[in-house]
Chain A
């Protein structure tokens, strides 16, 4: 089938839904392979969560470096449509008709879902007081503070003497229905603790954890650096509840499981390390396109080990964190793999429908 959107092109057309790290990566790889790409992004700008992240683990490089390199790789064969969402997809005898919210209709030979994730809504863990106590913030809020370049202070402008990080907020918790580990929050917490210490060498820093999952290259070394160079404390226990003092500091209740005793500790600022949750938009598209969803509500590829970008439906592929939590590096690797699989698929249909 010739591309009805672009009669001059020789390549096939792929519509990518989602312009974050996965979508941008796959778009540039597919363009390099000679395909036409339409990248649909619901926000006003492509970039996804990376737009809101100041520095990246494990080396604390600025997030914009990675963002710029992904954006710069997008060539003219990638048509970017921002502030657009897909309202429906209608399968054709070959390929798909995609109808946008704006009622515009597009045609493509294949679809790639790169819809990403949402951050867990911390107000759902009421016992931690997010949205109630002014000095309880999330890891995303802290990144925005870093990005603003303003000094780190409490809500009323005081320099914090003690800062705590709560691990696993919204992850590994059946009470919020998320049994899975979000994989990146441990290392994010350690990175952010170091960054606070860089700014405030006098501050006392605490991570409250159940397990520290430093699984990837350079992560464990970062944990070592946090202890050795920055004197950051790690206290093994899950915060069970928080309360606000009259001076807006936060008092935590926790079991210090390594001494087997309940422990009370006051912090000036409490950072909740929020995890990944599936996007409602992904689930809507999944039900529209009949793509299976796991117990964790992330998308199920055709085969977890060997066909991790395929779905059971020919021409529909998956990339990135709509399949579960991933680091940026792993998202880029996954989306690159998706692009290759997609390109291969497009060549196969070329042979069958020249």
Chain B
């Protein structure tokens, strides 16, 4: 076989088969409202912290679903738990509790 030299760089790839879904499972059990997110971005648009720092609460949820745990850990520190995102969510996702549950779950994994 001819080797064209194409490989997918590991850090570019979401390896869904190998990713760790334990945090997601914890969330499904403890804050099941995350299941209903439609990725509309209202939370991110309105987020108090996101106005000042590189923080995207909608993206946090998407990463969580894909089992991309590593980038999540640093993100958790940026939320101010103000709850504005919850006020605008059209699906009633409880993001404050979601953040706390992610923290609990990632702490357990350590």
Given contacts A210-B40, A255-B42, contact A240 B91 (CB under 8 A): no
Given contacts A253-B46, A262-B45, A262-B51, contact A241 B58 (CB under 8 A): no
Q: Which residues of B contact A240 (CB under 8 A)?
A: 41-43, 45-46, 88
Q: Does B106 have its Cβ within 8 Å of any Cβ on chain A?
A: no
Q: Does B32 have its Cβ within 8 Å of any Cβ on chain A?
A: no
Chain A residue nearest to B59 (CB atoms) is A260
Bound-state CA distance A236–B45 (Å) is 12
Bound-state CA distance A109–B42 (Å) is 52
Q: Are A255 and B45 in contact (CB under 8 A)?
A: yes
Given contacts A253-B45, A254-B45, contact A237 B40 (CB under 8 A): yes
Q: Does A257 have its Cβ within 8 Å of any Cβ on chain B?
A: yes
Q: Does A127 have its Cβ within 8 Å of any Cβ on chain B?
A: yes
Of B41, B91, B92, which is within 8 A of A237 by CB? B41
Q: Are A255 and B41 in contact (CB under 8 A)?
A: yes
Within 8 A of B (CB), among A235-263: 236-241, 253-257, 260-263
Give the contact stretch, choosing among A171-179, A182-190, A196-204: A171-179
Bound-state CA distance A174–B51 (Å) is 25
Q: Are B88 and A257 in contact (CB under 8 A)?
A: no
Bound-state CA distance A172–B89 (Å) is 11
Q: How far is the CB of B59 from chain A (nearest CB, A)?
A: 5
Bound-state CA distance A251–B29 (Å) is 39
Bound-state CA distance A172–B38 (Å) is 10
Q: Are B92 and A241 in contact (CB under 8 A)?
A: no
Q: Does B39 have its Cβ within 8 Å of any Cβ on chain A?
A: yes
Q: Are A127 and B56 in contact (CB under 8 A)?
A: no
Q: Does B50 have its Cβ within 8 Å of any Cβ on chain A?
A: yes
Bound-state CA distance A255–B50 (Å) is 10
Bound-state CA distance A266–B42 (Å) is 17
Q: Are B40 and A241 in contact (CB under 8 A)?
A: no
Q: Which residues of B contact A255 (CB under 8 A)?
A: 40-45, 56, 58
* Most interface-central of A173, A240, A262, A263 (chain B CB within 10 A): A240
Q: Are A238 and B90 in contact (CB under 8 A)?
A: yes
Q: Are A257 and B39 in contact (CB under 8 A)?
A: yes
Q: Which residues of B contact A256 (CB under 8 A)?
A: 41
Q: How far is the CB of B103 from chain A (nearest CB, A)?
A: 22
Q: Are B38 and A127 in contact (CB under 8 A)?
A: no
Bound-state CA distance A87–B45 (Å) is 48
Digitize B16-51: 1 where CB-to-A-CB distance is under 8 Å, 0 elsewhere: 000000000000000000000011111111110011
Q: How far is the CB of A252 from chain B (nearest CB, A)?
A: 9
Q: Which residues of B contact A254 (CB under 8 A)?
A: 41, 45
Chain A residue nearest to B54 (CB atoms) is A261
Q: Are A127 and B88 in contact (CB under 8 A)?
A: yes
Q: Which residues of A contact B41 (CB under 8 A)?
A: 236-238, 240, 254-257
Q: Are B50 and A257 in contact (CB under 8 A)?
A: no
Bound-state CA distance A174–B42 (Å) is 13
Q: Which residues of A contact B45 (CB under 8 A)?
A: 237-241, 253-255, 262-263
Bound-state CA distance A172–B37 (Å) is 12
Within 8 A of A (CB), among B63-110: 88-92
Bound-state CA distance A254–B90 (Å) is 14
Bound-state CA distance A263–B46 (Å) is 10
Chain B residue nearest to A237 (CB atoms) is B41
Q: Which residues of B contact A172 (CB under 8 A)?
A: 38, 90
Bound-state CA distance A261–B59 (Å) is 10
Q: How far is the CB of B91 from chain A (nearest CB, A)?
A: 6
Q: Are B90 and A174 in contact (CB under 8 A)?
A: yes
Q: Which residues of B contact A168 (CB under 8 A)?
A: 90
Q: How far is the CB of B77 from chain A (nearest CB, A)?
A: 19
Q: Which residues of A contact B89 (CB under 8 A)?
A: 174-175
Q: Are B88 and A241 in contact (CB under 8 A)?
A: yes
Q: Which residues of A contact B88 (CB under 8 A)?
A: 127, 175, 240-241
Q: Are A173 and B39 in contact (CB under 8 A)?
A: no
Chain A residue nearest to B58 (CB atoms) is A255
| Further 5 A-B residue pairs, CB within 8 A, beyond A260-B56, A262-B45 | A168-B90, A173-B90, A210-B39, A241-B88, A253-B46
Chain A to chain B: the 7 pairs with minimum beta-carbon distance, closest first: A255-B41, A238-B40, A240-B45, A255-B44, A237-B41, A257-B41, A240-B46
- List 8 A–B pairs whose Cβ atoms lie within 8 Å, in order of A's numbering: A174-B89, A174-B90, A210-B39, A240-B46, A241-B88, A255-B41, A261-B56, A262-B45
